[in-house]
Structure 1
Amino acid sequence: MAQDPSDLARFVASHGGDRSLKVEESLGGGYVRLRVAEAERRQAKHDIRWVEDAVIEMLRNARDAGARHIYLASSREGSVRTITMLDDAAGIPREMHERVFDARVTSKLDSVHLDRWGVHGRGMALYSIRENALSARVVDSAPQKGSSIQAVFDVDSLQERSDQSTWPTLVEDEGGSLGFRGPRNIIRCCCEFSQEDRGCELYLGSPAEIVATARSNVRLSVEGSALLFIDSLDDLPVLERLKLAADAGELLQVSSSLGLDMSERTAHRILAGQVTPVRSVASHFRKSRRASRAGRKVDLARDRRGLRISPEDLGEFSRTMERDFAPLAQRYYLSLASEPRVRVSHGRVTVTFEVDEGD
């Protein structure tokens, strides 16, 4: 008779303790080799230390799947933060809706993406999110129809920045480099992502605002008489379903099926045009940049020649600074929230060490 693997795991745990399921080999002297699953779980806990980290991973995932438009709905009730992301990316086959949250599962067999947040494409992003969330699921997705993915977090367990309403300020240093100042909240994460990936148009708002924005912006892939031959809105890409909902009841049903919960009254308000669509995240800092430039006087006598350092040398210098920071971190029980940031401006090289606020 075949042995149930879960029964076997419980038997091992009861006799050898949970340690037996974590350790692959005891090397002596207090050293052990962890099982792959345990090492992955610990790495996942390190990769996602703030809700904002999870948001960035969700956005990077959509970008790497080919999304050109991303709609991010964020809401909080009590200590529960809900993030629902809709996109027009390649989509996920139904049989993979659960498997994509397993470790090392990726569609990027021959490629990885290196950006300001590190390497992406290891198949660990969604796994890390689920390990740190109350729940994480593919709400709806199919090939060529985009996706709706939702993650729910307990902010008492996985913290988020306290100020979630303030938009960051776009600033330009003496060397002409652009960056953001302000709380490192979800809004700033979205701004930095939009600045990094100009090919994605990102919208951020409440569930109601996201529904109103999608209805206003989404272009239909099926028009005219072809719509008569569609049996169900479920046959359409996820974003187009919101646009084609005919009445408040249908809009409520479609929104709920995509993870965007609202009241029927709110659905009526959206159809009546009483919920204003949000602007894209990028349009916020483009406008602020134009305003700052318009009010700036041009100094014709200023020497605009600046120091230029290659990205490779900047990366190597950052790693050197991280190693040199280690003795201070050990002495004062500090840990870095990210790798040291090196900024080069006119006559100045600035290194910023961002210390984890939990320390």
Structure 2
Amino acid sequence: MADSQELISFIAQMTGESNLRVEENLGEGYVRLRVSEAERRQAKHDIQHVEDMVIELLRNARDAGAQHIYVATYRDDDLRKVVVIDDGCGVPEDIQDRIFEARVTSKLESMHMDRWGVHGRGMALFSIRQNCEEARVITSGANLGTALYACADTSVLPERADQSSWPVVEKDDEGRHVCARGPHNIVRTVAEFALEELHGCEVYLGSATEIAATLYQHAHRALDASQLLFLDSEEQLPVVDRLGYAADAEDFMRIACSIGLSLSERTAHRILAGTIKPMRSVAARLLRERTAAPQESAVDLARDRRGLRITRDDLQAFARTLERDFAELGDRYYLSLAQEPTVRVRGDRITVTFDIHKDE
């Protein structure tokens, strides 16, 4: 026994602890695994199908206090790619990679028990990263919500063959809506979660285009145009509202990419023009509920609905002109520009912002 322990210690020193799976050789073919190896094996057991990964991402968003969760997913050859965007409490920048480590959790004093088991052990995101090709936070911040990306190789982590069918919903003996029939695919996984959290949060499921259109409409309703004038960047907004900051299709495409939704410029134009409609929530679709349409005002046929478009070069030239003209005012009031003026075009309005220093 002593010789075995010495050998283990020698190997640990030569190769590093990460390459050593055994903490103690007990004899008779029995060993005590190191904590890291035990965690890795548990993680492999926790996530056995793509659908397991999806439910863990949903539970993670719910436990972060999200009231709205948006799931964009698509298949690229053998790769299943999933983006989950939520309006929960968010993750501070300096901890965004560490949340994928084992036993890292924000739930020191609490845990969540639901139909899928215990949540709050700090193992869900660790399990996802162990079983996926990639898992990372795309963007987040304290009180700003989160966009999280996961990519699984379905030849290693399998998924159901039928990923398009929606489940049939019926009432059980207690009068609750449940998924009664249908393949146990990603759609059903999200549907079961949406029904379980029917009065807790709304869940949306679709392609990147469908989710982008839905986020844009929700942000457009929630944001006041006046508050956007005082923002330097969309990153100051919650993740779910950032598409509402887009001034044009090029801007929309850039912001969508920054939250994990890849779109073409043509698709961005169609969303801004309203030709791609937003989605109903998963629960609303399952329960055949109609989403209340916003009250439409009378159509002004004389109104020019063409968006104002100014080239980037012309905007930069305009900004340089304004910077020169500011010099006279600055000399009179002892002011100087902190940076060149910011010019934004939104609808039929051009907004110019001067960031200034007061000279001593």
The two structures share one fold, judged by TM-score above 0.5: yes
Higher Cα Rg: structure 1 or 2?
Answer: 2
Structure 1 counterpart of 2:336: none
Deviation at 1:233, TM superposition (A): 0.9
Give the length in aligned residue pairs: 279
* Letter in structure 1 aligned against 2:83: T
User: Retained in 1: the 8 A contact 2:67–2:201?
Assistant: yes
Change (3 A) 1:25 1:283: same
Q: Tell me whether 1:256 sits opposite 2:257 in the alignment.
A: yes
For structure 2, the 5+ residue unaligned runs are 1-9, 290-360
Greater shift, 214-223 or 80-89, is seen at 214-223
Deviation string 1:16-35 (CA, Å, 9 cap, x unpaired) is 79996100111111111100
Change (3 A) 1:19 1:61: closer
Q: Tell me whether 1:278 sits opposite 2:279 in the alignment.
A: yes
SS in 2 for 1:163: coil
Deviation at 1:13, TM superposition (A): 7.1
User: Retained in 1: the 8 A contact 2:111–2:119?
Assistant: yes
TM alignment of 1:1-359, pairs within 5 A: 12=11, 21-173=20-172, 176=175, 178-180=177-179, 181-198=181-198, 199-218=200-219, 223-287=224-288
User: Retained in 1: the 8 A contact 2:178–2:195?
Assistant: no
Deviation at 1:223, TM superposition (A): 2.5
* Letter in structure 1 aligned against 2:22: V
Tell me the distance in 2 between the aligned counterparts of 1:50 and 1:193.
Answer: 16
Structure 2 counterpart of 1:308: none
Tell me the distance in 2 between the aligned counterparts of 1:189 and 1:29.
Answer: 44
SS in 2 for 1:82: strand
Deviation at 1:274, TM superposition (A): 2.1
RMSD, aligned α-carbons: 2.2
* Letter in structure 2 aligned against 1:66: G
Change (3 A) 1:141 1:20: closer
Deviation at 1:287, TM superposition (A): 1.7
* Letter in structure 2 aligned against 1:243: G
SS in 2 for 1:122: coil
Change (3 A) 1:174 1:158: same
User: Retained in 2: the 8 A contact 1:106–1:122?
Assistant: yes
Tell me the distance in 2 between the aligned counterparts of 1:201 and 1:275.
Answer: 21
Tell me the distance in 2 between the aligned counterparts of 1:17 and 1:139.
Answer: 31
Change (3 A) 1:138 1:175: closer
User: Retained in 2: the 8 A contact 1:245–1:251?
Assistant: yes
User: Retained in 1: the 8 A contact 2:111–2:120?
Assistant: yes
* Letter in structure 2 aligned against 1:110: E
User: Retained in 1: the 8 A contact 2:223–2:241?
Assistant: no
Deviation at 1:259, TM superposition (A): 0.9
* Letter in structure 1 aligned against 2:196: E
Change (3 A) 1:220 1:19: closer
For structure 1, the 5+ residue unaligned runs are 1-10, 289-359
Change (3 A) 1:127 1:78: same
Tell me the distance in 2 between the aligned counterparts of 1:175 and 1:112.
Answer: 26
SS in 2 for 1:243: helix
Tell me the distance in 2 between the aligned counterparts of 1:137 and 1:83.
Answer: 11
User: Retained in 2: the 8 A contact 1:220–1:240?
Assistant: no
Change (3 A) 1:287 1:30: same
Deviation at 1:123, TM superposition (A): 0.4
SS in 1 for 2:105: coil
SS in 1 for 2:287: helix
User: Retained in 2: the 8 A contact 1:213–1:278?
Assistant: yes
Deviation string 1:276-330 (CA, Å, 9 cap, x unpaired) is 2111000022128xxxxxxxxxxxxxxxxxxxxxxxxxxxxxxxxxxxxxxxxxx
Tell me the distance in 2 between the aligned counterparts of 1:19 and 1:241.
Answer: 41
Deviation string 1:163-196 (CA, Å, 9 cap, x unpaired) is 0000000123456454211000111011110111
User: Retained in 1: the 8 A contact 2:70–2:86?
Assistant: yes
User: Retained in 1: the 8 A contact 2:219–2:242?
Assistant: no
Change (3 A) 1:220 1:232: farther
User: Retained in 2: the 8 A contact 1:139–1:148?
Assistant: yes
User: Retained in 1: the 8 A contact 2:163–2:186?
Assistant: yes
User: Retained in 1: the 8 A contact 2:160–2:184?
Assistant: yes
User: Retained in 1: the 8 A contact 2:68–2:203?
Assistant: yes
Tell me the distance in 1 between the aligned counterparts of 2:193 and 2:15.
Answer: 46
Deviation at 1:239, TM superposition (A): 1.2
Tell me the distance in 2 between the aligned counterparts of 1:283 and 1:20.
Answer: 50
